[in-house]
Amino acid sequence: MQQQQSQPAPQQSAPQQPAPQKPAQQQPAPQQPKFNPQQVTPVVQIQAPRPADEVGVADVLVGSFALIGIIIAGALIIGLVTGGIFIAIRRWRDKNSPDSGEPSATRLNLS
């Protein structure tokens, strides 16, 4: 048996010209949403701290005396207000007691 090998004959063709194209219809651009945040890469700038001022013995003493003065002034104010409240309560109680006309102390007249 013989096998026949058939090769297609090369076809000679004229160069093809592109077919005339229809003008492409432009599609409307898609509308972007009203709020469209873009990704933002934050930039962090770290400033080196300034060197601290030196603290001397005089600064410590002034600070401690100032703190002691503030504490003493606060204690004095609180003491005066509290004492005034106690005196006002005692006077109010003595004035409104049922035996307010009678003296609360007896005079001995020893001399």
User: pLDDT per residue over 16-49, tens digit each?
Assistant: 666 666 666 777 666 655 665 677 778 888 888 8
The two tokens of residue 32 are 């972007």
Four-point Cα dihedral 80, 81, 86, 88, nearest 10:
110
Residue 42 resides in a domain: no
Residue of 83, 94, 87 whose CA lies nearest to 105: 94
Q: pTM above the 0.85 mark? A: no
Query: Given this model, what pLDDT does residue 39 score?
Result: 72
Q: State how many domains the chain has.
A: 1
74: domain range?
57-87
Residue ranges with strand state E in 1-111: none
Residue 99 resides in a domain: no
Q: pLDDT tens across 76-105, in order?
A: 999 999 999 999 999 998 888 776 666 667
How many CA atoms within 13 Å lie on the side-chain side of 14?
2
Amino acid (one-letter) located at 7: Q
Residue 80 resides in a domain: yes
Residue 37 resides in a domain: no
